[in-house]
């Protein structure tokens, strides 16, 4: 019986329950109930004497669950609770910089250690970019709870041991502290590698790819590259994990004789530990290092390494340092993929290689293909539900893309590592050798882009039927595993394919009714509206100010689910980020024929970037300087040029879309003064649907404007914000005007379908 694995996974289950379920007060009570149950099992010793292993396993599970709940409660009491009194206040702080700063849209941020086991993220201006690990920061800051931001529970920070967000309030000083000491050598080594990468490979695409592979730092990846790798199911290559660690151990094996087993094991463990610190202690690298530790030490103690036991040990170590790490998406994906390979991949490999082949080269080719396919399929077994939940995607061609790319990625990592080491000694030689890496990187990106170009390469859970299909498939194959025979898997595969085709058809068919559809997407505090009719579709804006919402991904997923392969046009009302920052990914994923822009000044550089992308993706650009009309299937689209002055919100485009007698009006972030100019300048019809301006701001949707356009239905695109949107004043005015009000923060996506001019 795998005692350590049983303890570790039971402990993890308790930590997961503590992370998912609300109200911390239940932890000790639940632990008490579990302990009572454990003692009851002990009391039944004589009745369960015939099932000693079952009784022992049950005791291990109950005691481990109870221990995890008590441990989490104590952890929160000692490390998290002391910070609660400071939340919402402007107070002094003191912390040690633990990593290099990162640039943000408004300046920079840096992670600081403010106490034992307590970290925070400090947000300030661009002067923070001069800081180094080990320096001391002192100053005044606004303390924000990192586990709950306004009404939303957030696990992004707590899973990394960050429990407070510190916002600069001035008087911040930096001291030398321990900067430059050996304590921070791994961080300096990672930065040196990243700098060396940029010197060897001058093109940003290769440099960003290599930095992500070697150090896990994705900041240098372009939106296009990251989107292609994600859509092809290859993002895991950027998670520093077993592939990287195995190569390091293999390289060390070339330097140390295998006969010197103890020396080799000690050196390998030291190298892995340093690389683990260098790569930022991500869950995937910690898991890989601990599992390799078991592999290295097992022969010394004349024991066999056991996969589930070493995996459980790695998980237990991570959770003892931070029980909130169980909520980390990367941890869940890493351990789920490894568990799938251990439980299913190895069996699938044995099944694929059980038949004898006469030729050696045929056996080698079969072993290579079987290993690639078995590991890819095994990794998918438990990760598909997680990627569906967290990323809304099911990549159908993932096994194919992994088969084509993973071997090349392994060679790319090995070549990159050696090339960077050479660069520290002889830069010209490294630049010459770097051409091999360049070729491998661009091959991987070419495959990813080719896979992404295949229609139906991935499915998205924006299709509400897809989750039911997924549950059906798991139940069907689960039943196959419990029965005998081999043909059952063929039948299950055929049924899965047929029902999947039906699911995809149903997902698109429900949108293809009526003369026109208006879909206001839930992108949080931002806006993105899809107008469609027949086979034509136009997207108006795409952005969100909520950093945890990928507006471009939401829009692209929904467009693909509805069966549209391209957009007739993209309309940008104005250049603020909450209306545009999702367009970069959207344009990389969805082809478009035309881009409509306002001819206004843009201090943020958004217009220039959109023009660059339009040129790259061969999208025609039109500035709206006068009233512009175009057809969208059975509907007609009319764009009105900017009317206001001053703030960019007042200089945006206005969009009117009509199908028969049904009219939809969108005013962007227009305020009341510009709304007044709009109704005075243009003869707007009485509209049926108003996409409320400026997310329901009290300065928009004035009584005069509502009397002029007389909307019957109002949709407010809004999410978590500190502006008070939607304002009570705006809601009252809309209600007084007789509007039926829908809100994306309450209803999610809002779809209105027009049939022959009527809703």
Domain spans, the chain: 3-83, 90-180, 329-391, 466-509, 516-754
| 111 CB-side CA count, 13 A | 15
612: number of Cβ within 10 Å: 10
Dihedrals phi, psi of 29, to nearest 5 degrees: -65, -45
Residue-wise pLDDT tens digits, 692-705: 999 999 999 999 99
Residue-wise pLDDT tens digits, 138-186: 999 999 999 987 777 788 899 899 999 999 998 889 999 999 999 999 9
Report how many helices (DSSP H) and strands (DSSP E) the chain contains, helices first: 26, 25
State residue 105's pLDDT score: 79
State residue 677's pLDDT score: 93
Rounded to an integer, the average pLDDT of 256-272 is: 83
Mean pLDDT rounded to a whole number for the chain: 90
Mode of pairing for the β-strands spanning 526-533 and 90-97 = unpaired
Pick from 492, 494, 456: nearest CA to 474: 492
Residue written as tokens 């100053």?
139
Distances (CA, A) of 218 to 225, 570, 572: 10, 28, 28
pLDDT at 479 over 90: no
pLDDT at 136 over 80: yes
Q: Six-digit token pair at 431?
A: 């630049």
Question: Angle of helix 3-20 relative to helix 307-321, nearest 10 degrees?
Answer: 40
State residue 6's pLDDT score: 94
Residue-wise pLDDT tens digits, 428-441: 999 999 999 999 99
Helix ranges (H only) for 466-549 are 466-481, 487-509
674: number of Cβ within 10 Å: 25
Residue-wise pLDDT tens digits, 497-528: 999 999 999 999 888 888 899 999 999 999 99
Q: Six-digit token pair at 599?
A: 């001819």
State residue 1's pLDDT score: 60
% the chain with pLDDT above 70: 98
Rounded to an integer, the average pLDDT of 370-385 is: 89
Pick from 480, 501, 482, 483: nearest CA to 492: 480
Domain 516-754: assigned CATH number: 3.60.15.10
Q: Is the bond preceding residue 726 a cis peptide, omega within 30 degrees?
A: yes
State residue 47's pLDDT score: 62
Instruction: Reduce the DSSP state of residue 445 to 3 states and report it.
Output: helix
Residue written as tokens 């030398």?
176
Q: Which residues are registered as beta bridge partners of 537?
A: 532
Pick from 450, 446, 470: nearest CA to 460: 470
Any idea what DSSP says for residue 721?
Answer: -
Dihedrals phi, psi of 408, to nearest 5 degrees: -65, -35
Pick from 40, 27, 131, 114: nearest CA to 71: 27
State residue 757's pLDDT score: 44
255: number of Cβ within 10 Å: 8
In sequence order, what DSSP letters do the residues of 130-158 get, joined into one string? G--TT-EEEEEEEEEESSEETTEE--TTG
Rounded to an integer, the average pLDDT of 380-409 is: 92
Please state, in angstroms and rounded to a whole number, the distance separating the CA atoms of residues 577 and 379: 37
Rounded to an integer, the average pLDDT of 378-398 is: 93
% the chain with pLDDT above 90: 67
Q: What angle is formed at CA 685 by the lines to CA 684 and CA 689, rounded to 5 degrees?
A: 105
State residue 668's pLDDT score: 94
Residue-wise pLDDT tens digits, 652-667: 999 999 998 999 999 9
State residue 233's pLDDT score: 92
pLDDT at 609 over 50: yes
In sequence order, what DSSP letters do the residues of 309-367 get, joined into one string? HHHHHHHHHHHHH-GGGGG-HHHHHHHHHHHHIIIIIHHHHHHHT-S--S-HHHHHHHH
Any idea what DSSP says for residue 66?
Answer: H
Residue-wise pLDDT tens digits, 20-33: 887 667 888 999 99
Q: Six-digit token pair at 200?
A: 């060897």
| pLDDT band with cut points at 50, 70 and 90 for residue 569 | very high
Domain 90-180: assigned CATH number: 2.40.50
pLDDT at 759 over 50: no
Which is higher by pLDDT, 176 or 482?
A: 176
pLDDT at 49 over 70: no
Q: Six-digit token pair at 374?
A: 């078995």
Rounded to an integer, the average pLDDT of 477-494 is: 82
Quick check: 691 and 717 in contact, CB under 8 A? yes
Mode of pairing for the β-strands spanning 594-597 and 569-571 = parallel
């Amino acid at each position: 019986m795998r005692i350590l694995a049983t303890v570790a996974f039971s402990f993890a289950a308790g930590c997961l329950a503590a992370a998912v379920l609300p109200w911390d007060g239940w932890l000790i009570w639940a632990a008490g109930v579990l302990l009572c149950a454990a003692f009851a099992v002990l009391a039944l010793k004589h009745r369960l004497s015939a099932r000693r292993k079952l009784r022992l396993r049950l005791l291990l599970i109950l005691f481990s669950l109870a221990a995890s709940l008590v441990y989490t409660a104590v952890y929160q009491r000692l490390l998290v609770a002391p910070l609660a009194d400071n939340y919402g206040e402007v107070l002094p702080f003191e912390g040690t910089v633990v990593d290099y700063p990162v640039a943000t849209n408004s300046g920079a941020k840096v992670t600081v250690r403010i106490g034992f086991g307590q970290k925070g993220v400090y947000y300030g201006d661009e002067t923070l970019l001069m800081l180094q690990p080990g320096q001391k920061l002192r100053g005044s800051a606004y303390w924000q709870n990192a586990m709950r931001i306004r009404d939303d529970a957030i696990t992004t920070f707590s899973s990394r041991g960050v429990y407070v967000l510190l916002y600069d309030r001035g008087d911040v000083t930096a001291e030398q502290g321990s900067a430059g000491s050996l304590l921070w050598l791994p961080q300096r080594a990672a930065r040196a590698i990243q700098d060396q990468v940029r010197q060897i490979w001058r093109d940003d695409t290769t440099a960003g790819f290599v930095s992500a592979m070697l150090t896990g730092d994705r900041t240098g990846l372009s939106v296009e590259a990251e989107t292609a790798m994600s859509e092809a199911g290859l993002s895991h290559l950027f998670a520093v994990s077993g592939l990287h660690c195995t190569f390091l151990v293999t390289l060390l094996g070339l330097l140390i004789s295998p006969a010197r087993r103890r020396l080799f094991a000690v050196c390998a463990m030291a190298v892995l530990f340093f690389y683990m610190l260098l790569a930022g202690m991500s869950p995937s690298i910690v898991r890989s290092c601990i599992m390799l530790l078991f592999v290295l030490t097992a022969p010394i103690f004349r024991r066999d390494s056991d996969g589930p036991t070493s995996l459980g040990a790695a998980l237990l170590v991570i959770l003892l340092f931070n029980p909130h790490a169980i909520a980390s998406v990367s941890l869940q994906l890493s351990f789920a993929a490894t568990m799938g390979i251990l439980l299913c991949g190895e069996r699938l490999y044995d099944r694929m290689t059980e038949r004898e082949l006469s030729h050696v080269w045929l056996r080698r080719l079969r072993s290579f293909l079987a290993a690639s396919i078995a590991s890819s399929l095994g990794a998918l077994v438990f990760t598909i539900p997680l990627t569906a939940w967290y990323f809304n995607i099911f990549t159908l061609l993932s096994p194919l893309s992994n088969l084509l790319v993973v071997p090349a990625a392994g060679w790319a990592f090995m070549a990159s590592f050696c090339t960077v080491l050479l660069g520290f000694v002889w830069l010209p030689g490294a630049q010459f050798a770097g051409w091999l890496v360049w070729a491998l990187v661009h091959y991987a990106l070419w495959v990813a882009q080719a896979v992404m170009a295949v229609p139906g390469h991935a499915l998205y859970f924006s299709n509400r039927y897809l989750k039911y299909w997924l549950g059906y498939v798991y139940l069907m194959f689960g039943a196959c595993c419990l029965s005998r025979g081999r043909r059952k898997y063929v039948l299950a595969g055929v049924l899965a394919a047929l029902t999947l085709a039906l699911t995809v058809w149903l997902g698109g068919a429900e949108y293809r009714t009526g003369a026109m559809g208006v879909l206001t997407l839930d992108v949080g505090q931002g806006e993105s509206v899809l107008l469609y009719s027949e086979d034509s579709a136009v997207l108006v804006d795409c952005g969100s100010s909520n950093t945890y919402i990928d507006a471009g991904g939401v829009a692209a997923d929904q467009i693909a689910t509805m069966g549209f392969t391209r957009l007739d046009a993209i309309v940008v009302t104005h250049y603020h980020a909450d209306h545009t920052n999702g367009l970069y990914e959207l344009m990389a994923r969805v082809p478009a024929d035309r881009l409509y822009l306002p001819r206004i000044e843009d201090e943020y550089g958004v217009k220039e970037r959109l023009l660059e992308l339009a040129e790259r993706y061969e999208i025609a650009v039109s500035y709206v300087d006068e009233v512009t009309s175009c057809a969208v299937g059975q509907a007609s689209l009319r764009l009105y040029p900017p009317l206001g002055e001053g703030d960019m919100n007042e200089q945006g485009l206005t969009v009117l879309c009509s199908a028969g007698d049904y009219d939809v009006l969108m005013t962007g972030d227009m305020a009341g003064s510009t709304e007044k100019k709009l109704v005075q300048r243009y003869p707007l019809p009485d509209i049926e649907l108003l996409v409320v301006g400026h997310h329901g701001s009290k300065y928009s949707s004035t009584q005069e404007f509502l009397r002029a356009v007389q909307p019957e239905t109002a949709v407010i695109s809004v999410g978590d914000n500190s502006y008070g949107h939607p304002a009570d004043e705006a809601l009252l005015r809309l209600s007084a005007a007789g509007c039926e009000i829908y809100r994306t923060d309450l209803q999610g996506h809002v779809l209105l379908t027009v049939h022959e001019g009527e809703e």
